[in-house]
């Protein structure tokens, strides 16, 4: 990708900041439920 692309017409911190925060939130929503399921299954298995 060209330097112009990364500079976003001078708005790089705002555009990339927004997409960065968004990536974190999307990933958290995709991954967190799976991790919690593993934790629940483990704790329930210990209770058995």
Contact set with other proteins (CB under 8 A): 5, 8-11, 14-15, 17-19, 21-22, 25-26, 28-30, 32-34, 36-37, 40-41, 44-45, 47-48
CB of 5 to other proteins, least distance (A): 7
CB of 22 to other proteins, least distance (A): 4
| Rounded distance between C-alpha atoms, residue 15 and residue 48, angstroms | 50
CB atoms within 10 A of CB 16: 13
Q: How far is the CB of 46 from other proteins (least distance, A)?
A: 10
What is the phi-psi region of residue 11: left when phi exceeds 0, alpha when psi lies from -120 to 50, beta otherwise? alpha
């Amino acid at each position: 990708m060209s330097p112009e692309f990364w500079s976003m017409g001078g708005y790089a911190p705002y555009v990339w900041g927004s997409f960065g925060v968004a990536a974190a939130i999307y990933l958290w929503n995709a991954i967190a439920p799976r991790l919690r399921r593993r934790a629940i299954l483990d704790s329930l298995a210990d209770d058995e």
